[in-house]
Amino acid sequence: MLVLFETPAGFALFKVLDEGKLNKVEDLWKEFQSTESARKVVKLKNFSKFENTAEALTAATLLIESKPSKGLRKFLRQECEGETLAVADSKLGNAIKEKLKIECVHNNAVMELMRGLRAQLSELVTGLGVQDLAPMSLGLSHSLSRFRLKFSPDKVDTMIIQAIGLLDDLDKELNTYAMRVREWYGWHFPELAKIVQDNIQYAKVVKLMGNRTNAANLDFSEILPEEVEAELKEAAVISMGTEISDHDMLNIKALCDQVISLSEYRGQLFDYLRSRMNAIAPNLTALVGELVGARLIAHAGSLLNLAKQPGSTVQILGAEKALFRALKTKHQTPKYGLIFHASLVGQAAPKLKGKISRSLAAKAALSIRIDALGENQDGSVGIENRAKLETRLRQLEGRALGRLAGSTKGKPKIEPYDKERKKDAQGLLTAAKTYNPAADSTIGQQQTQKVAEADQSLKQHDQKQKGDKKRKHEDMEQVAMSEEGIQEPEKKKKKKKEGSKREEATPQEEKTVEPEKKKRKKEEKKNEHGQQEEATPYQEETVEPEKKKRKKKAKNTQEGQEDATSNAFEHEEAGESEKKKKKKKRDLRRNSGTKSLSVPLQCRRPP
């Protein structure tokens, strides 16, 4: 079994003396603690030295890509006939097996053996010291890094990344410089800021005009149109700005020169970026444009990294903060990132921007993969995808218009048949209805509803009282006709006292109580007869029915109080007119309560 080991000086081929020790992988490192024990395990068979650094560089670059160089293939054919070869890279072993028909081995035991050889390399390889090996490895690493930066296909898009970054910085600087020119020259000619809106034109006008008094004698036709020029000259005559010195004007003109030169350089840089994008990513440029495509490549790091991303990632590329904020707060995730500035997304309606950005990101992902990994560099795929997206946008807009028209299929909505419409004319047979402004306010409606509810409650209450009066009137007549007297309901305490007194009273006391009661009745009757004789004949006719009514009302006061309290809240809301009615009824009830004292004892219940 042979072992292939790569060094900065060349390729070393070792022969394993004791293959049984490879079975014990955990104890294999002990065999390489000293040079004597290491020589018992492996032995140097041959060493192929590099002639120069160029050969070492080519061999190293091919080994990184898992490919054997010409010198390595020649070396292995001479030394590895009928032998198994242990390699550190499995892909390299497969390539050697395919091309040279040599069996290769790669496992944990081989990797442990490689570590031991690296530790004792200077002792196992004669003529290769540590002092010679260190500068060789350093020189090879430097040359390898230079070669990869110079010739790597992954680093071709670095110029695009730098150009788009510089273009964004130039836009920021131009904006700040132009605003400084406006603010500085505005003290001398403030009206010029409203007349000339463009920053570059403003700087050119200030550089040409200088002091505003020179505006009448100058020609601005190369910079401004005729209407704006005439307005500028009129404003310069009546301007309210302050006077400035010549030294200040020189500094303002120098700043204007900087603004103009930066704008010209920005135009040149944009042309360079357009040419590079058309050369490296033509399909992506045809879909989203030069600026958006360059920003996507710069954000991903390279064109190859962008090609590895799915369409959903391309869609929200540049909106990472909004995405993670939405996931954290459990809100809706963003629908677009840098792709929002593409022309197709800008043409879409606000409701359709999400759908168009999703379909555009899917097509852009395909175009990026063709640009990064494909061979065709004509941009035909991007043009076809753009045409498809434009038709898709028209379909979505047509559906939206169809929904607004009243049908999902885009057909107009069919109006129902109206009997009141004439056959020939469009007018109605019935008279036109007039607008009622009183229906707008709801305050009067609420008040009328409350008054109606209060009236209904009063009617129901009066009906209940009339029914109760009839029933009680019948009861009173039965009581008057009966010979036995029934005591009026008194309080419980009085009943208990009277019951206790009656039990204690003797038969003699009962006899004395009866004549006393008869005397009291006679005295009360005399008093009542005297009052009746003093009254007029008209009063005598009216007293008897009024007294009966007062009796009924006095007896119904206890039951009527409960109904009155339940409807008290409704009576208060009814209005002032209802309150007056209540007051009158209360006065009548009070008067009836006071007048009931003068009712004759014949109509009262016996004690």
The answer to whether residue 607 scores a pLDDT higher than 80 is no
The answer to whether residue 13 scores a pLDDT higher than 80 is yes
Angstrom distance (rounded) from CA 337 to CA 309: 14
pLDDT mean over 498-504: 49
**Per-residue confidence at 465, pLDDT binned at 50, 70, 90?**
confident
CATH of domain 281-401: 1.10.246.90
- Token pair 């107009």 is at which residue? 412
**Per-residue confidence at 513, pLDDT binned at 50, 70, 90?**
very low
pLDDT given at position 120: 83
Q: Check: CB of residue 109 under 8 Å from CB of residue 28.
A: yes
- Token pair 């229906």 is at which residue? 439
Best CA proximity match to 28, nearest among 13, 17, 43, 38: 38
The answer to whether residue 234 scores a pLDDT higher than 70 is yes
pLDDT digits 0-9 by tens, 235-294:
999 989 899 999 999 999 999 999 999 999 999 999 999 999 998 999 999 999 999 999
Kindly give, in sequence order, each residue whose CB lies less than 8 Å from that of residue 575, ignoring residues fewer than 6 positions away: 447, 451, 454
pLDDT mean over 87-107: 87
Q: Check: CB of residue 395 under 8 Å from CB of residue 359.
A: no
* Beta strand pairing call for 85-86 and 104-105: parallel
**pTM passes above 0.75:** no
Q: Is 156-268 a CATH 1.20.1600.10 domain? A: no
Q: Check: CB of residue 14 under 8 Å from CB of residue 2.
A: yes
Give the best-scoring range by mean pLDDT among 207-216, 393-402, 474-483, 556-565. Answer: 207-216
Q: Would you put residue 64 in left (φ > 0), alpha (ψ -120 to 50) or beta?
A: alpha
The three-point CA angle 432-437-440 to 5° equals 120
Query: Which comes out higher in pLDDT, residue 310 or 422?
Result: 310
pLDDT given at position 164: 94
Per-domain boundaries in the chain: 2-148, 156-268, 281-401
> How far is residue 597 from each of residues 124, 125, 273, 544, 589, measured CA to CA in Å?
141, 143, 115, 14, 13
Kindly give, in sequence order, each residue whose CB lies less than 8 Å from that of residue 576, ignoring residues fewer than 6 positions away: none
Angstrom distance (rounded) from CA 597 to CA 510: 28
pLDDT given at position 55: 85
Query: Which comes out higher in pLDDT, residue 127 or 443?
Result: 127
SS3 406: coil
CATH of domain 2-148: 3.30.420.220
- Token pair 């070393």 is at which residue? 12
